[in-house]
Structure 1
Amino acid sequence: MDNLNKKLNDGSITSGTNVSFWIDSAETISGLTPSKDVNTEVLIIGGGIAGLTTAYKLLKAGKKIVLVEDGYIGSGETGRTTAHLTCALDDRYYFLEKTFGAEEAALAAQSHTAAIDEIENIVNSLNIDCSFKRVDGYLLLHETDNEENLDKEYQATQRAGLTTSLVDETPGIQGGTSIQSLRFQHQAQFHILKYLKGLAEAVIALGGIIYTQAHAEAISKKGAKVKGYTFSANHIVVATNSPINDRITMHTKQHSYRSYVIAGKIPRGQLPYCLWWDTGDQKSKWVAQPYHYVRLEHFDDQYDLLIAGGEDHKTGQEDEEGISSFERYERLEIWTRNYFPMLDDISYRWSGQVIEPVDSLGFMGKNPGDDNIYIITGDSGNGMTHTTIGAMIICDNIMGKKNKWEDLYSPSRITLKTTGDFIKEASNMASQYLDWLSKSDLKNIADLPVGEGDILSFGLKKVAVFRDYDNKLQAFSAVCPHLGCIVQWNTDEKSFDCPCHGSRFATDGTVINGPAQTNLNSINIK
């Protein structure tokens, strides 16, 4: 197996074997290799947009920082986004009003608007060539939704202080002249990995130190172990999408979903640069009702790239609906061609991990019970802006300033008005432990094809097996080291995924998504 395939399999470049457009069209960004113990003011764990933005802002504020990343920069979920920059949130503003109150909904709108401005300011001040542009966004009804809900959302966005309008035509989409939508003005988009490259260069220029291929574990208020070395700090920021320093608390408040993306070329100039979303499947079995999201990205002098996402399901639970990942890509393509028939052959397919908070807002600030450990998580489908807000809040926290949004996004908050959804998600999570009692589909190791994995049962013992491309069998305990769920094989991204809390492991057992901190235990089998 060549070096590139190995890095794709172990999560160094990206957390799955499908390569996103961003990964494919940008340089790999690497840093130093840990070689000694380190002491600093702020240790940041995670080299995606959350970690790098926090590092940049703290360095500008005069702090000394060290950042460590499992793989290369952007190898986590940042490199698998679709990079919408928007204050049009996954959950409706009328839901936020009902859950938090009108003033808090207005704060949410204000913070996401400010996050877009912050990204634009960083792009301009650092002169980052990342195709940043301001665009309008259009929210249209999913076929299962009621027309009155669009008006309801319009009224709520107006109360929240956003610049929105109900329009009778939706530009760019098939039949759009008669499709009503809610227009969000002055949204934005960019090439996320080119943005990260600019941020990483700025962090180093300001005196920050970046380590890559540097796995952190044993995280505590004193620091962490990084590839066997002791990294100590006064403040620790865990910016890893899912918090890896928390065993239970945060994982009862948020849940992991898998979202699918396709991208294909269209002739340049045929569509306006816009963001499009639908309001989501109101009949879905999932608490986080899956929706579709679409945008354009510059490809070359002749073509733009149309990028569409959706068809979500709980991580490790695609079998709950009996719809394979292959079928999900097909369904996504059918939906996309219905609205954008000019779409050419599909050039890219990938999926990403989305952490959905039960009450719809992210968790950014001090980790519950800790005075010097901070987290950025629960980004939902608004990761680019949520993480930027998180960086702004945590920078103020560490500098001893009160941030006006910190209470709204506090990881310690309890939202009683979402108890029903909390119970549904908790019940779903608890039911996954029944996998201990179920029999595996794989009966004989000899039946396992090259390049595939599965779960074997030996009584109550569960073994994760993978046959590599050299026809060698690798085997691991199928028990997730986080809280003991049985992992499931993800045939699309070639990983073992935990259906309880979303931890994911590469084909060699290496952990590539938290909350698990350690790898699957290797097993010798005959």
Structure 2
Amino acid sequence: MDTSERSVSVWKEEVTPLAAPPLEESTTADVCIIGAGIAGLTSAYLLQRRGVNVVVLERGAIGGGQTAQTTAHLASAMDDRFEQLIRFFGTSGAQLAYESHAAAIDTIEAIAQGEGIECDFARLDGYLFLGRDQDPKDLDKELDAATQVGFPGVEKIERSPLQSFDTGPCLRFPQQAAFHPLRYALGLVAAVLRDGGRIYGGTAVSDVEGGDVPTVTTETGLTVKAKAVIVATNTPFNDRFSIHTKQAAYRSYVVALPVPELGVPRALYWDMEDPYHYARLHRLRREDGGYSEMVIVGGEDHKTGEEDDAEERYARLEMWARERFPVSGEAIARWSGQVMEPVDGLGFIGADPGHSKNVYIATGDSGQGMTHGTIAGMLLSDLIAGRENPWADLYSPRRRTLRAVGEYARENLKVARHYAEWLERSPMANADAIPRCGGAVLQRGIHKLAVYRDEGGKLHERSAVCTHLGGIVHWNSEERSWDCPCHGARYAPTGEVLQGPAVKPLEEVPSEGEGMEVLETPELPEPAEALHRKAS
């Protein structure tokens, strides 16, 4: 099953993800890495360069997951703003966050240069400006916070260099960057293989068991025994509760629009609206050897599974872009991706919080997956080697950020409300209204069914109960997927897992009439009840 998104990013138009061979026999390694995105591949590269033998397992194609859906901003100017990070972590913690992201950009640059990876890496300025009707004091507060954490060269200027739109006062952050994420990722693959690492695609993992000799088991029953395991799967599937109560899955949308060559200053552009917008320039390589200039604009985020209005969000993004950039034609591409938002704004990188010995996780990219993923590789390679790292406590998955307790409560109350869907009747009575290539949740007695009608008109029925912690999935018509609003698990139309934390596919449904006498009103599964109590 292809785990990529249905919408195709400009990166995948230029570079096809690598269809690496699957694992065909059980094996051993020093470190087994699950997930071949930026976090997993950076970890593999840095470990292999230290002489640590690695095996990388990826469910789908190499570079076919969320790394292919990014807009590839490389920023040490934080998405969650320095003012907020100081409030949550203090000035010293916010300073470490800045320094880690700056070091990640330096590391990407050094690897690209050292390995000769042609990934269009370029240093750029980043410009942060106000949204509509926002208080100019918000910029001053962020400038003061950035200065406190020691961000060199940050300054407030009258406007960004855009000639097509007056942003008004903005902050200029120097030494940011951009690159082509898939070209870089596949460059890492080549270097890992050269150094003796092994990378397998089409290999789904069903279980991770920690201990003195951790064991990774695939869906086909093969095993990889190692001294350490890294779970770098966007969101960890081996942890059932602790991490998933501290972060939430969001969908973010992207459009790529043509602009005149050299018509827009090359930079990163961000506004402060909620949800905010972010833009960058990219030169698309054409088959004739030439280039097409485009602006890539992202935003319009919403919690995964809670909305099904992608067309409206793409339209709003395009309108936002056309008001600010000299767009010269119709959209070239559009796509969406999944972002894990931790309640305190920083990723979770380190030892498994479930106390599974010698197992490590990397998650919580908070919209900065390329730098967070690189930080993960740097930090985890140190932890596995027994080296001290100044970022270890800051990114620890076991941390508790007391000042973020309000955000923690809000996100988990949303989850609790979604579990109440168990007690609600599904609005659609039968499958007659489901169009071809469409889906809906239907009610059969006490059972909720995820029903999909394929292109040929055939209906496919699976249970609508997420196999992670029992939430009710929702249909995503843009990606043609079943998305769980509780913790972000996603499934193909016919029930196969596309994205964790779920491991098992949606279950087969009982025959009509079966089980209807069991309960007049269904009860929440025990894990969901426990989570409901914690959230309340």
Task: Give TM class, smaller chain.
Answer: over 0.9
Match of 1:295 among 267, 280, 305: 280
Residue 200 (structure 2) pairs with residue 211 (structure 1): yes
Q: How far 1:343 sits from its partner (Å)?
A: 4.3
**After superposition, what is the alpha-carbon deviation per residue over 1:194-253, rounded to whole angstroms, capped at 9, x for unaligned?**
111100011100100011010001111122212321121110100001011100000111
Q: How far 1:120 sits from its partner (Å)?
A: 0.2
| Counterpart mapping for 1:450-465 below 5 A | 450-465=436-451
Q: How far 1:525 sits from its partner (Å)?
A: 6.0
Q: How far 1:95 sits from its partner (Å)?
A: 1.1
* Counterpart in the other structure of 2:217: 225
Structure 2 CA distance, aligned partners of 1:110 and 1:173? 32
What 5-or-longer segments of structure 1 have no aligned partner? 1-9, 282-289
TM-score normalised to structure 1 length = 0.93
CA, structure 1 residues 80+173, in 2 after alignment: closer, same or farther (shift >3 Å)? Answer: farther
Return the letter of the residue paired with 1:41.
D
* Counterpart in the other structure of 1:276: 269
**After superposition, what is the alpha-carbon deviation per residue over 1:430-480, rounded to whole angstroms, capped at 9, x for unaligned?**
100111122223322222111111111113211111111222211111100
Return the letter of the residue paired with 2:35.
G
Structure 2 CA distance, aligned partners of 1:465 and 1:239? 31
What 5-or-longer segments of structure 2 have no aligned partner? 513-536
Tell me, yes or no, if the aligned pair for 1:254 and 1:378 is still in contact at 8 Å: yes
| Counterpart mapping for 1:331-480 below 5 A | 331-368=316-353, 369-480=355-466
3-state DSSP class of the match of 2:232? strand
Tell me, yes or no, if the aligned pair for 1:254 and 1:356 is still in contact at 8 Å: yes
**After superposition, what is the alpha-carbon deviation per residue over 1:169-209, rounded to whole angstroms, capped at 9, x for unaligned?**
21125332x61111110110011001111000111001000
* Counterpart in the other structure of 2:114: 125
Q: How far 1:104 sits from its partner (Å)?
A: 1.0
Tell me, yes or no, if the aligned pair for 1:337 and 1:343 is still in contact at 8 Å: no
| Counterpart mapping for 1:12-91 below 5 A | 12=3, 14=4, 16-91=5-80
Return the letter of the residue paired with 2:2.
G
The range that moved more, 451-460 or 58-67, is: 451-460
Tell me, yes or no, if the aligned pair for 1:22 and 1:191 is still in contact at 8 Å: yes
Structure 1 CA distance, aligned partners of 2:507 and 2:472? 13
Structure 1 CA distance, aligned partners of 2:358 and 2:425? 45
Tell me, yes or no, if the aligned pair for 1:306 and 1:343 is still in contact at 8 Å: no
* Counterpart in the other structure of 2:184: 195
Match of 2:151 among 162, 167, 170: 162
TM-score normalised to structure 2 length = 0.92
Tell me, yes or no, if the aligned pair for 1:454 and 1:464 is still in contact at 8 Å: yes
Tell me, yes or no, if the aligned pair for 2:14 and 2:284 is still in contact at 8 Å: no
Structure 2 CA distance, aligned partners of 1:187 and 1:246? 34
**Identity of counterpart residues, as a percentage?**
45
CA, structure 1 residues 302+194, in 2 after alignment: closer, same or farther (shift >3 Å)? Answer: closer
* Counterpart in the other structure of 1:6: none
Q: How far 1:94 sits from its partner (Å)?
A: 1.2
Structure 2 CA distance, aligned partners of 1:525 and 1:488? 22
3-state DSSP class of the match of 2:256? strand
Residue 257 (structure 2) pairs with residue 264 (structure 1): yes
Q: How far 1:302 sits from its partner (Å)?
A: 4.9
Match of 1:11 among 2, 11, 17: 2
The range that moved more, 477-486 or 433-442, is: 433-442
Residue 302 (structure 2) pairs with residue 313 (structure 1): yes
Structure 2 CA distance, aligned partners of 1:342 and 1:45? 40
Q: How far 1:144 sits from its partner (Å)?
A: 4.6
3-state DSSP class of the match of 1:356? strand
Match of 2:231 among 227, 234, 238: 238
CA, structure 1 residues 441+199, in 2 after alignment: closer, same or farther (shift >3 Å)? Answer: same
CA, structure 1 residues 371+402, in 2 after alignment: closer, same or farther (shift >3 Å)? Answer: farther
Return the letter of the residue paired with 1:60.
R
Q: How far 1:140 sits from its partner (Å)?
A: 0.6
Structure 2 CA distance, aligned partners of 1:173 and 1:315? 36
Structure 2 CA distance, aligned partners of 1:315 and 1:157? 31
Structure 2 CA distance, aligned partners of 1:110 and 1:352? 27
* Counterpart in the other structure of 1:255: 248
**After superposition, what is the alpha-carbon deviation per residue over 1:298-317, rounded to whole angstroms, capped at 9, x for unaligned?**
11435212100000110000
Return the letter of the residue paired with 1:473.
L
Tell me, yes or no, if the aligned pair for 1:450 and 1:471 is still in contact at 8 Å: yes
Structure 2 CA distance, aligned partners of 1:199 and 1:305? 26
**After superposition, what is the alpha-carbon deviation per residue over 1:342-398, rounded to whole angstroms, capped at 9, x for unaligned?**
242111111110000000011111111233111110001111001111111100000
3-state DSSP class of the match of 2:468? coil
Return the letter of the residue paired with 2:271.
D
- Output the aligned Cα RMSD: 1.4
CA, structure 1 residues 524+459, in 2 after alignment: closer, same or farther (shift >3 Å)? Answer: closer
Q: How far 1:524 sits from its partner (Å)?
A: 6.9
Tell me, yes or no, if the aligned pair for 2:17 and 2:182 is still in contact at 8 Å: no
Return the letter of the residue paired with 1:262.
V
3-state DSSP class of the match of 1:298? strand
* Counterpart in the other structure of 1:174: 164
Tell me, yes or no, if the aligned pair for 1:475 and 1:525 is still in contact at 8 Å: no
Q: How far 1:76 sits from its partner (Å)?
A: 1.3
Tell me, yes or no, if the aligned pair for 2:209 and 2:356 is still in contact at 8 Å: no
Tell me, yes or no, if the aligned pair for 2:17 and 2:64 is still in contact at 8 Å: no
* Counterpart in the other structure of 2:87: 98
Structure 2 CA distance, aligned partners of 1:454 and 1:173? 46
